[in-house]
Amino acid sequence: METKDSTMITFRLSAEELQTLDANAAEAGMNRTEYIRARLFAPEPGAQIAELEKQLNLLTDQLGRMAEQEKPRTCKNPEHAKIYGAGHCFDCDLPIFVPGQARGK
């Protein structure tokens, strides 16, 4: 930036504010002016966050619809039922199918 095309502005800070400014600028690897300029002209994240939330909501709605359409799966391997009994098959990571028992019980 050329100095003849720029305008200088000044403002007052308390000692604590100046210390915070310097620490934040150093952490960002910038000097005071660069840090203030970067923060001042940074794009507002509100619109981007709103768009991401919208996309996340659409994705969770889609996953919910997919889960509703999926038929319940069970392990029907009789050897697994002998090993683990009625309950959960740890090989297949599924509930074990028990003949004569209604699904979901």
Note whether residue 28 is domain-resident: no
Confidence at residue 14, expressed as pLDDT on a 0 to 100 scale: 96
For 88, the enclosing helix (H) or strand (E) is strand 88-89
Note whether residue 105 is domain-resident: yes
Note whether residue 55 is domain-resident: no
Count of domains observed in the chain: 1
Note whether residue 103 is domain-resident: yes
Note whether residue 41 is domain-resident: no
Q: What percent of the chain has pLDDT over 90?
A: 45
Note whether residue 101 is domain-resident: yes
Confidence at residue 105, expressed as pLDDT on a 0 to 100 scale: 43
Average pLDDT over residues 41-45: 87
Average pLDDT over residues 88-93: 87
With a CB cutoff of 8 Å and minimum separation 6, the contacts of 98 are 81, 86
Average pLDDT, rounded, for the chain: 87
pLDDT above 90 for 97? no
pTM, to two decimals: 0.44
Q: Bridge-partner residues for 88, per DSSP? A: 95
Query: Taking the mean position of all CA atoms in its chain, how far away is CA 73?
Result: 29
